[in-house]
């Protein structure tokens, strides 16, 4: 049996996934890419995602955090070849309703250069942090998150992607998604919160949620083995049901 290709959509950092960490998915063809710094809305990122996916006969979209919103936008178009969807740490609309936090996110557009690298990115990394990050396979830390963004994320890309996430709302489009969907949720997501997963679960008809205990928002990077195992289990179960 030919397995579908897994298309891994980057998080807000824009960095391609490190596919070698997804050992449990090694039987699947894997593909990833880098997010464009030029786009100002989610739909443009969805266009890029489907351009990559269109090279494959069947595929599963796997979107993490910001990439989850991109995956939702792409899946809502019901593209040919899409056979599954995985949303991790994701949201249909920006769930951050704390005014101070939103102001901090928005302030990044006024803080280029050293202020972006040494003020905005450490602040962002702190918001993503969980008490469980250092328990994972890679012992992920706040400093690792800062390094990830400093290496991969230009100020323009960061500002455009955060503004796109703040503006986009895909709650009405969730009903358009008609493929088996895994909502992969960390136990301790201090930025996004559990309510965002509940919106996805109620809005996507053929969806299930798996909560990974003792993980945080950065669980793809802090706990890659458990993360990949959860996806592999979901895909195996779906293949058995389809057989």
Written as tens digits, the pLDDT of the chain (243 aa) is 789 999 999 999 999 999 999 999 999 999 999 999 999 999 999 999 999 999 999 999 999 999 999 999 999 999 999 999 999 999 999 876 666 666 677 778 888 999 999 999 999 999 999 999 999 999 999 999 999 999 999 999 999 999 999 999 999 999 999 999 999 999 999 888 889 999 999 999 999 999 999 999 999 999 999 999 999 999 999 888 876
DSSP string computed for 121-150? HHHHHHHH--TTGGGSTT---HHHHHHHHH
Rounded Cα distance between 228 and 27, Å, is: 12
Quote the tokens at residue 4.
């579908």
Rounded Cα distance between 192 and 229, Å, is: 23
Is pTM, for the whole model, over 0.85? yes
CA triplet 133, 135, 139: central angle to 5 degrees? 70
Q: Which domains does the chain have, with CATH numbers?
A: 5-96+159-242 (3.40.50.1820)
Torsion from C-alpha of 26, 36, 125, 107, nearest 10 degrees: -160
């Amino acid at each position: 049996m030919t397995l579908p290709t897994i298309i891994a959509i980057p998080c807000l950092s824009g960095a391609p996934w490190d596919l070698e960490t997804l050992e449990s998915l090694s039987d699947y063809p894997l593909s990833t890419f880098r997010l464009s710094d030029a786009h100002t809305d989610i739909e443009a990122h969805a266009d890029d995602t489907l351009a990559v996916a269109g090279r494959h006969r069947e595929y599963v979209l796997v979107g993490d955090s910001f990439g989850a919103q991109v995956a939702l936008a792409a899946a809502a178009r019901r593209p040919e070849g899409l056979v599954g969807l995985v949303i991790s740490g994701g949201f249909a609309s920006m769930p951050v309703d704390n005014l101070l936090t939103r102001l901090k996110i928005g302030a990044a557009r006024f803080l280029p250069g050293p202020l972006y690298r040494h003020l905005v990115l450490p602040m962002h990394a702190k918001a993503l942090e969980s008490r469980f990050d250092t328990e994972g396979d890679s012992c992920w830390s706040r400093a690792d998150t800062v390094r990830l963004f400093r290496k991969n994320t230009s100020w323009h890309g960061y500002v455009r992607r955060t503004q796109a996430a703040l503006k986009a709302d895909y709650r009405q489009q969730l009903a358009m998604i008609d493929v088996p969907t895994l909502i992969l949720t960390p136990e301790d997501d201090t930025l996004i919160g559990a309510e965002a997963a509940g919106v996805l679960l109620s809005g996507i008809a053929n969806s299930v949620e798996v909560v990974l205990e003792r993980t945080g928002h950065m669980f793809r990077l802090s706990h890659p083995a458990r993360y990949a195992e959860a996806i592999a289990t979901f895909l195996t179960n779906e293949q058995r049901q389809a057989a």
